[in-house]
């Protein structure tokens, strides 16, 4: 039996961020990871001989600057923002430069001006919401001085912009993204991009109520101080996990990989340690679970300790993924029609219109995949040549929509969906299919198995109004604390949610260090 001040379960980026912050706060910290290496969903894998994927994410758009600075994250490349190119199959691209379209090529001057006006409004409104992300969500009936200060600063921010902006914020907050895009824009490509970005990874279509929240969430992220920016680290996405690991090791964190936790020790509502898969007990007064909340409470904790009502609420967390991840091994760099050569290393979104996104979503509501999917594409080996042999190339795509519970079952559905996706890519990059050396399509079921993510949902739960802030993951565990004293949540399933931000882990650690466990 070995004793630590805190045990963190899971060495994904949030687990490592939590561990680093705790260690820098003077705690003796142990991180336990079931996989053979750290990184969680940013952990890479070889999907074909000589070809590697850098993990589920193929770019960074939400890394919090305060988190990176505080834990000492040495991740180069944050000052180089990636462009986004929208391809609709016409051969005419719309290219967004800077932080989410600070400048746009390929649209009329009038449309560029309209997009700029909408961008300013959305960035401002996302900034109001961002004030609530770097601290535990307000607790209903128990508001702290910090909560009141946050509310006050948000209110002053609205007041300074004038009564009209305040009304617009309240009007738009729970709107669907389609209505907002229609109000400002006329270019179908830009409308399609907004619809795609607002719903990526979420079980909503652009005309679903509250779908604008997804776009707000994206725009709360900053790169180089600019809202909506996105980047790939110097050397590629494979540098993300090692950077978090280096920060943890420098802070004195102990990491053990290949060490699954079998059970969290708790007695009379108080956590006291863990039991490993081999039966070894390790004690600590603080246990931080940086894995999915459902795994934590449905598999590692005795239900009698947390209560049947709480267990039922955790079971009801909606966490069924709706996105497939495609990795292609290609014998050459693909040539996308209309893609400017200088934008080849950026993000490519294949979408014709907002209507296409909505129509792609419709089958998913009934457990079917779309015959006309929309997707986000990158070419990772252009940034990190080690991912492919010389002269070859890797392609990474996030494909909407691919429901976890496919009516026909993914065993038979996967080949059919893969063909649809490859045919779509071929239409945009003629000759691509002939250059395919190998293809790896990960459905939500595969993502669940590979990364231990219940439902294959990379956000560890839907980012919808009823599963955010005071309800993330449930109202009884929304402030990182849980019904079990000494047990805290710190994964993407906790506030403020998914993406490579580090905020859930960092927030949880600061909450613990503040003495909130007392």
The CA distances from residue 69 to 64, 255, 445, in Å, are 9, 22, 36
Q: Give the CA radius of gyration of the chain.
A: 22
Q: Are strands 261-267 and 286-289 parallel, antiparallel or unpaired?
A: unpaired
Residues in the chain: 518
- 417: CB partners within 8 A, 6+ apart: 324, 369, 402, 441, 443
- pLDDT band for 226, please (50, 70, 90 cuts): confident
Peptide bond into 496 cis (omega under 30): yes
DSSP string, 123-152: HHHHHHHHTTTSSPPPPTT---HHHHHHHH
Q: 395 - beta bridge partners? A: 328
Residue 132's closest CA among 61, 220, 222?
220
pLDDT at 312: 95
pLDDT at 156 over 80: no
The model carries a pTM of: 0.93
pLDDT at 516: 47
Q: 327 - beta bridge partners? A: 396, 440
pLDDT at 231 over 60: yes
Taking the C-alpha atoms of residue 514 and residue 22, their distance in angstroms, rounded to an integer, is 11
Taking residues 402-414, what's their average pLDDT?
96
Lookup: tokens for 259: 């060490």
443-456 pLDDT, tens digit per residue, is 999 999 999 999 99
Domains defined along the chain, listed by start: 2-45+244-318+458-516 (3.50.50.60), 109-226 (no CATH)
Taking residues 48-65, what's their average pLDDT?
93
pLDDT at 157: 63
Taking the C-alpha atoms of residue 364 and residue 221, their distance in angstroms, rounded to an integer, is 28
173-225 pLDDT, tens digit per residue, is 889 999 999 999 999 999 999 999 999 999 999 999 999 999 999 999 888 78
Lookup: tokens for 516: 């909130």
- 114: CB partners within 8 A, 6+ apart: 184, 185, 186
Taking the C-alpha atoms of residue 233 and residue 80, their distance in angstroms, rounded to an integer, is 9
């Amino acid at each position: 039996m070995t004793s630590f001040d805190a045990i963190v379960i899971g060495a994904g980026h949030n687990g490592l961020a939590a561990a680093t912050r705790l260690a820098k706060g003077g705690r003796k910290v142990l991180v336990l990871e079931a996989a053979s290496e750290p990184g969680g969903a940013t952990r890479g894998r070889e999907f074909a001989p000589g070809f590697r994927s850098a993990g589920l994410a193929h770019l960074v758009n939400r890394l919090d600057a305060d988190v990176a600075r505080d834990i000492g994250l040495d991740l180069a490349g944050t000052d180089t923002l990636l462009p986004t190119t929208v391809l609709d199959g016409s051969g005419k691209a719309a290219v967004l430069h800077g932080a989410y379209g600070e400048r746009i090529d390929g649209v009329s001057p009038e449309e560029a001006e309209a997009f700029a006006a909408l961008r300013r409004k959305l960035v401002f409104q996302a900034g109001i919401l961002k004030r609530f992300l770097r601290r535990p969500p307000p607790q209903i009936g128990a508001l702290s001085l910090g909560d009141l200060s946050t509310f006050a600063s948000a209110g002053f921010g609205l007041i300074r912009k004038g009564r009209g902006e305040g009304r617009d914020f309240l009007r738009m907050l729970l709107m669907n993204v389609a209505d907002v895009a229609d109000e400002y824009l006329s270019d179908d490509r830009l409308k399609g991009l907004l619809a795609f970005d607002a719903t990526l990874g979420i079980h909503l279509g652009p005309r679903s109520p509250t779908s604008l929240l997804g776009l707000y969430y994206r725009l709360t992220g900053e790169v180089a101080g600019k809202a909506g920016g996105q980047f790939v680290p110097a050397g590629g996405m494979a540098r993300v996990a090692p950077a978090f690991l280096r920060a943890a090791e420098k802070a004195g964190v102990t990491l053990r990989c290949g060490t699954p936790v079998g059970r969290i020790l708790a007695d009379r509502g108080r956590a006291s340690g863990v039991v490993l898969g081999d039966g070894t007990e390790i004690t600590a007064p603080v246990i931080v679970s940086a894995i999915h909340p459902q795994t934590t409470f449905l598999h590692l904790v005795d239900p009698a300790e947390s209560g049947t009502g709480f267990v039922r609420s955790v079971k009801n967390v909606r966490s069924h993924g709706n996105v497939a991840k495609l990795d292609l091994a290609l014998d050459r760099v693909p040539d996308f029609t209309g893609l400017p050569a200088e934008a080849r290393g950026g993000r490519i979104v294949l979408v014709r219109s907002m209507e296409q996104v909505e129509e792609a979503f419709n089958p998913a509501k009934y457990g079917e995949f779309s015959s006309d999917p929309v997707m986000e594409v990158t070419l990772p080996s252009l940034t990190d040549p080690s991912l492919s042999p010389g002269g070859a190339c890797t392609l990474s795509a996030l494909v909407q929509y691919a429901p976890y519970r496919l009516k026909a079952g993914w065993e038979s559905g996967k080949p059919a969906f893969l063909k649809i996706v490859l045919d779509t890519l071929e239409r945009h990059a003629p000759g691509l299919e002939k250059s395919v050396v190998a293809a790896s399509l990960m459905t939500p079921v595969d993502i669940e198995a590979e990364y231990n993510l219940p439902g294959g949902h990379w956000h560890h739960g839907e980012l919808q109004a009823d599963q955010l802030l005071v309800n993330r993951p449930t109202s009884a565990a929304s402030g990182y604390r849980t019904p079990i004293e000494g047990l805290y949540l710190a994964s993407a399933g906790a506030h403020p949610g998914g993406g490579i931000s580090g905020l859930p882990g960092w927030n949880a650690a600061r909450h613990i260090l503040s003495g909130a466990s007392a």
